[in-house]
Amino acid sequence: MMVAAREASLGPIHLGRLTVDAGRAPDGRTSYQVLCDTVAGRRRVLDLGCGDGHLLDLLARDRRRRLAGIDLAEEPLALARERPALTRAALALASAHELPFPADSFDACVSHLALAQLTDIDRVAAELARVLEPGGLLAVVLSGAAVPGTAYEVFNDLTRSVLDEVPADRRQPALGDRRTRTRAGLDQVLGGAGFGPVDWRTIRLDLTGTLDEVWTRMIEIYDLDPLDPAALATLRRCFDHTVTVLADGRVPCAMNLHLAVTFAPHSFTG
Protein backbone atom coordinates (compact mmCIF):
# COMPACT_ATOMS: atom_id res chain seq x y z
CA MET A 1 0.00 0.00 0.00
CA MET A 2 2.87 2.37 0.74
CA VAL A 3 4.26 1.88 -2.77
CA ALA A 4 0.84 2.45 -4.30
CA ALA A 5 0.43 5.67 -2.34
CA ARG A 6 3.81 6.94 -3.47
CA GLU A 7 3.06 6.09 -7.10
CA ALA A 8 -0.32 7.77 -6.87
CA SER A 9 1.34 10.89 -5.54
CA LEU A 10 2.99 11.33 -8.92
CA GLY A 11 -0.42 12.10 -10.41
CA PRO A 12 -0.18 14.37 -13.44
CA ILE A 13 3.16 15.86 -12.36
CA HIS A 14 5.41 13.47 -14.23
CA LEU A 15 3.01 12.63 -17.02
CA GLY A 16 2.71 16.20 -18.28
CA ARG A 17 -0.32 15.30 -20.42
CA LEU A 18 -0.99 18.84 -21.61
CA THR A 19 2.61 19.31 -22.66
CA VAL A 20 2.96 16.00 -24.45
CA ASP A 21 -0.36 16.46 -26.22
CA ALA A 22 0.86 19.84 -27.49
CA GLY A 23 3.82 18.18 -29.19
CA ARG A 24 3.69 16.68 -32.65
CA ALA A 25 5.61 13.87 -34.29
CA PRO A 26 6.99 14.53 -37.79
CA ASP A 27 3.76 13.18 -39.31
CA GLY A 28 1.65 15.64 -37.30
CA ARG A 29 0.26 13.17 -34.77
CA THR A 30 0.50 13.48 -31.01
CA SER A 31 2.05 10.60 -29.10
CA TYR A 32 -1.45 9.69 -27.90
CA GLN A 33 -2.64 9.42 -31.48
CA VAL A 34 0.37 7.28 -32.36
CA LEU A 35 -0.49 4.93 -29.51
CA CYS A 36 -4.15 4.84 -30.47
CA ASP A 37 -3.30 4.00 -34.09
CA THR A 38 -0.98 1.21 -32.92
CA VAL A 39 -3.94 -0.77 -31.54
CA ALA A 40 -6.20 -0.19 -34.55
CA GLY A 41 -8.58 -3.11 -34.98
CA ARG A 42 -8.36 -4.23 -31.36
CA ARG A 43 -11.75 -4.41 -29.66
CA ARG A 44 -11.08 -4.89 -25.93
CA VAL A 45 -8.50 -2.37 -24.76
CA LEU A 46 -7.11 -1.60 -21.30
CA ASP A 47 -5.38 1.71 -20.55
CA LEU A 48 -2.82 1.24 -17.78
CA GLY A 49 -2.52 4.54 -15.91
CA CYS A 50 -5.40 6.17 -17.77
CA GLY A 51 -5.37 9.46 -15.85
CA ASP A 52 -8.12 11.81 -17.00
CA GLY A 53 -9.13 9.48 -19.85
CA HIS A 54 -7.61 11.43 -22.73
CA LEU A 55 -6.24 8.35 -24.50
CA LEU A 56 -9.41 6.36 -23.79
CA ASP A 57 -11.41 9.18 -25.36
CA LEU A 58 -9.40 8.77 -28.56
CA LEU A 59 -9.85 5.00 -28.46
CA ALA A 60 -13.61 5.42 -27.95
CA ARG A 61 -13.97 6.91 -31.44
CA ASP A 62 -14.20 3.30 -32.56
CA ARG A 63 -17.58 2.62 -30.99
CA ARG A 64 -17.19 -1.13 -31.30
CA ARG A 65 -14.56 -1.13 -28.60
CA ARG A 66 -14.99 -2.20 -25.01
CA LEU A 67 -12.68 -0.03 -22.95
CA ALA A 68 -11.24 -0.17 -19.45
CA GLY A 69 -8.81 1.98 -17.56
CA ILE A 70 -7.09 1.93 -14.19
CA ASP A 71 -5.30 4.63 -12.24
CA LEU A 72 -4.02 5.07 -8.70
CA ALA A 73 -5.42 8.57 -8.26
CA GLU A 74 -9.11 9.30 -7.80
CA GLU A 75 -9.05 12.92 -9.01
CA PRO A 76 -8.09 12.21 -12.65
CA LEU A 77 -10.39 9.19 -12.70
CA ALA A 78 -13.28 11.45 -11.74
CA LEU A 79 -12.48 13.59 -14.78
CA ALA A 80 -12.38 10.49 -16.97
CA ARG A 81 -15.82 9.44 -15.75
CA GLU A 82 -17.22 12.79 -16.85
CA ARG A 83 -16.26 12.21 -20.48
CA PRO A 84 -19.42 11.36 -22.49
CA ALA A 85 -17.56 8.85 -24.66
CA LEU A 86 -16.48 6.86 -21.58
CA THR A 87 -19.84 6.27 -19.92
CA ARG A 88 -19.60 2.55 -20.65
CA ALA A 89 -15.88 2.20 -19.97
CA ALA A 90 -14.81 0.19 -16.91
CA LEU A 91 -12.77 2.74 -14.94
CA ALA A 92 -11.25 1.53 -11.72
CA LEU A 93 -9.11 2.89 -8.90
CA ALA A 94 -6.61 0.05 -8.87
CA SER A 95 -2.97 -0.95 -8.92
CA ALA A 96 -1.20 -2.41 -11.93
CA HIS A 97 0.21 -5.01 -9.54
CA GLU A 98 -3.26 -6.48 -9.00
CA LEU A 99 -5.50 -5.77 -11.97
CA PRO A 100 -9.23 -6.15 -11.18
CA PHE A 101 -10.01 -8.14 -14.33
CA PRO A 102 -10.28 -11.86 -15.17
CA ALA A 103 -7.71 -13.64 -17.30
CA ASP A 104 -7.88 -13.04 -21.07
CA SER A 105 -10.05 -9.94 -20.64
CA PHE A 106 -8.35 -7.83 -23.33
CA ASP A 107 -6.86 -8.17 -26.77
CA ALA A 108 -4.74 -5.03 -26.26
CA CYS A 109 -3.27 -2.90 -23.50
CA VAL A 110 -1.88 0.60 -23.87
CA SER A 111 0.06 2.78 -21.46
CA HIS A 112 1.26 6.34 -21.99
CA LEU A 113 4.23 7.41 -19.85
CA ALA A 114 3.01 5.37 -16.89
CA LEU A 115 4.80 2.01 -17.04
CA ALA A 116 8.21 3.43 -16.20
CA GLN A 117 6.81 5.04 -13.03
CA LEU A 118 5.86 1.69 -11.51
CA THR A 119 7.80 -0.35 -8.98
CA ASP A 120 7.92 -4.15 -8.85
CA ILE A 121 7.67 -4.10 -12.63
CA ASP A 122 8.07 -7.88 -12.94
CA ARG A 123 4.80 -8.34 -11.09
CA VAL A 124 3.14 -5.77 -13.37
CA ALA A 125 4.39 -7.69 -16.42
CA ALA A 126 2.93 -10.92 -15.04
CA GLU A 127 -0.43 -9.23 -14.48
CA LEU A 128 -0.45 -7.88 -18.03
CA ALA A 129 0.30 -11.36 -19.36
CA ARG A 130 -2.62 -12.68 -17.32
CA VAL A 131 -5.30 -10.20 -18.43
CA LEU A 132 -4.25 -10.14 -22.10
CA GLU A 133 -5.56 -12.93 -24.29
CA PRO A 134 -2.95 -15.14 -25.99
CA GLY A 135 -1.19 -13.04 -28.59
CA GLY A 136 -2.72 -9.85 -27.22
CA LEU A 137 -0.92 -6.61 -28.09
CA LEU A 138 0.90 -4.47 -25.53
CA ALA A 139 1.86 -0.96 -26.70
CA VAL A 140 3.47 1.58 -24.39
CA VAL A 141 4.93 5.05 -24.78
CA LEU A 142 8.00 5.66 -22.65
CA SER A 143 9.90 8.87 -22.01
CA GLY A 144 13.26 9.47 -23.62
CA ALA A 145 15.94 12.12 -23.58
CA ALA A 146 15.83 15.76 -24.56
CA VAL A 147 16.79 16.48 -28.15
CA PRO A 148 20.28 18.07 -28.04
CA GLY A 149 20.50 21.76 -28.83
CA THR A 150 16.88 22.52 -27.97
CA ALA A 151 15.21 24.29 -25.06
CA TYR A 152 14.31 20.95 -23.52
CA GLU A 153 18.01 20.16 -23.06
CA VAL A 154 18.63 23.65 -21.63
CA PHE A 155 15.77 23.29 -19.15
CA ASN A 156 16.84 19.78 -18.21
CA ASP A 157 20.40 20.90 -17.44
CA LEU A 158 19.33 24.01 -15.50
CA THR A 159 16.70 22.16 -13.50
CA ARG A 160 19.06 19.35 -12.55
CA SER A 161 21.57 21.79 -11.09
CA VAL A 162 18.89 23.70 -9.18
CA LEU A 163 17.17 20.61 -7.78
CA ASP A 164 20.53 19.21 -6.64
CA GLU A 165 20.52 22.01 -4.05
CA VAL A 166 17.14 20.98 -2.62
CA PRO A 167 17.33 18.93 0.61
CA ALA A 168 16.72 15.24 0.00
CA ASP A 169 13.65 15.15 2.25
CA ARG A 170 11.88 17.70 0.02
CA ARG A 171 12.46 15.90 -3.28
CA GLN A 172 9.99 13.64 -5.05
CA PRO A 173 10.92 10.03 -4.25
CA ALA A 174 12.43 8.13 -7.15
CA LEU A 175 10.14 5.44 -8.52
CA GLY A 176 10.21 2.98 -11.34
CA ASP A 177 12.63 0.39 -12.63
CA ARG A 178 15.61 1.48 -14.73
CA ARG A 179 15.13 -1.52 -17.01
CA THR A 180 12.06 0.14 -18.54
CA ARG A 181 14.27 2.92 -19.95
CA THR A 182 15.93 0.78 -22.62
CA ARG A 183 14.84 -1.75 -25.19
CA ALA A 184 17.10 -4.44 -23.74
CA GLY A 185 15.84 -3.81 -20.22
CA LEU A 186 12.20 -3.85 -21.24
CA ASP A 187 12.81 -7.05 -23.21
CA GLN A 188 14.18 -8.59 -20.02
CA VAL A 189 11.19 -7.54 -17.95
CA LEU A 190 8.49 -8.51 -20.42
CA GLY A 191 10.32 -11.60 -21.67
CA GLY A 192 10.31 -12.89 -18.12
CA ALA A 193 6.50 -12.88 -18.25
CA GLY A 194 6.45 -14.64 -21.62
CA PHE A 195 6.02 -11.66 -23.92
CA GLY A 196 7.68 -11.71 -27.32
CA PRO A 197 10.61 -9.48 -28.38
CA VAL A 198 9.93 -5.76 -28.07
CA ASP A 199 9.68 -3.66 -31.20
CA TRP A 200 11.19 -0.28 -30.23
CA ARG A 201 10.75 2.98 -32.13
CA THR A 202 11.88 6.48 -31.19
CA ILE A 203 9.48 9.36 -31.83
CA ARG A 204 10.72 12.93 -31.91
CA LEU A 205 8.08 15.22 -30.45
CA ASP A 206 8.30 18.88 -31.48
CA LEU A 207 7.37 21.27 -28.65
CA THR A 208 8.53 24.47 -30.34
CA GLY A 209 6.65 27.62 -29.39
CA THR A 210 7.04 31.08 -27.95
CA LEU A 211 9.27 31.54 -24.92
CA ASP A 212 6.28 31.58 -22.58
CA GLU A 213 4.69 28.55 -24.26
CA VAL A 214 7.86 26.50 -24.02
CA TRP A 215 8.43 27.50 -20.39
CA THR A 216 4.88 26.45 -19.52
CA ARG A 217 5.34 23.12 -21.25
CA MET A 218 8.57 22.45 -19.41
CA ILE A 219 7.18 23.16 -15.96
CA GLU A 220 4.21 20.89 -16.71
CA ILE A 221 6.65 18.00 -17.14
CA TYR A 222 8.96 18.62 -14.21
CA ASP A 223 8.13 18.47 -10.52
CA LEU A 224 9.30 21.89 -9.32
CA ASP A 225 7.21 21.93 -6.12
CA PRO A 226 10.35 21.71 -3.93
CA LEU A 227 11.52 25.10 -5.27
CA ASP A 228 10.58 28.27 -3.45
CA PRO A 229 9.29 31.24 -5.53
CA ALA A 230 12.68 32.95 -5.55
CA ALA A 231 14.45 29.85 -6.85
CA LEU A 232 11.80 29.35 -9.51
CA ALA A 233 12.15 32.97 -10.62
CA THR A 234 15.92 32.54 -10.86
CA LEU A 235 15.44 29.40 -12.93
CA ARG A 236 13.16 31.30 -15.31
CA ARG A 237 15.66 34.10 -15.77
CA CYS A 238 18.46 31.64 -16.49
CA PHE A 239 16.24 29.79 -18.94
CA ASP A 240 15.27 32.99 -20.78
CA HIS A 241 18.93 34.00 -21.15
CA THR A 242 20.17 30.58 -22.26
CA VAL A 243 17.69 29.29 -24.85
CA THR A 244 17.87 30.10 -28.54
CA VAL A 245 15.13 32.39 -29.82
CA LEU A 246 14.60 32.34 -33.59
CA ALA A 247 13.98 35.45 -35.67
CA ASP A 248 10.24 34.74 -35.68
CA GLY A 249 10.17 34.62 -31.86
CA ARG A 250 9.88 30.84 -31.58
CA VAL A 251 12.07 28.72 -29.32
CA PRO A 252 13.17 25.32 -30.71
CA CYS A 253 12.17 22.59 -28.29
CA ALA A 254 11.91 18.83 -28.77
CA MET A 255 11.91 15.60 -26.81
CA ASN A 256 12.27 11.95 -27.74
CA LEU A 257 9.72 9.39 -26.73
CA HIS A 258 9.84 5.65 -27.34
CA LEU A 259 7.04 3.43 -28.60
CA ALA A 260 7.47 -0.17 -27.47
CA VAL A 261 5.21 -2.90 -28.87
CA THR A 262 5.09 -6.60 -28.06
CA PHE A 263 2.66 -9.50 -27.85
CA ALA A 264 1.42 -11.56 -24.93
CA PRO A 265 2.41 -15.22 -24.56
CA HIS A 266 0.19 -17.80 -26.23
CA SER A 267 -0.23 -19.55 -22.91
CA PHE A 268 -0.16 -18.07 -19.42
CA THR A 269 1.12 -20.21 -16.57
CA GLY A 270 1.60 -17.58 -13.82
Q: What phi and psi, each to the nearest 5 degrees, are found at residue 51?
A: 55, -130
pLDDT tens digits, residue range 51-94?
999 999 999 999 999 999 999 999 999 999 999 999 999 999 99
pLDDT value at 221 more than 90: no
- Over the range 246-263, which residues count as b (16 or more CB within 10 Å of their CB) and which as e? eeeeebbbbbebbbbbbb
CA distance 268 to 249: 55
Name the band, by pLDDT with cuts 50, 70 and 90, for residue 37: very high
Q: What is the predicted pLDDT for the residue at 2?
A: 36
Strands across the sheet containing 132-146: 90-93, 66-71, 44-48, 106-112, 132-146, 254-263, 199-206
CA distance 222 to 14: 6
**For 67, what's the count of Cα atoms within 13 Å in the CB-facing half-sphere?**
29
Q: What is the predicted pLDDT for the residue at 248?
A: 96
Q: What phi and psi, each to the nearest 5 degrees, are found at residue 109?
A: -135, 135
Neighbours of 64 (CB within 10 A): 6
Average confidence score pLDDT of the chain? 88
pLDDT tens digits, residue range 223-247?
677 778 888 898 999 999 999 999 9
Question: In the predicted model, what is the mean pLDDT of residues 84-112?
Answer: 97
CA distance 39 to 137: 7
pTM recorded for the entire structure: 0.88
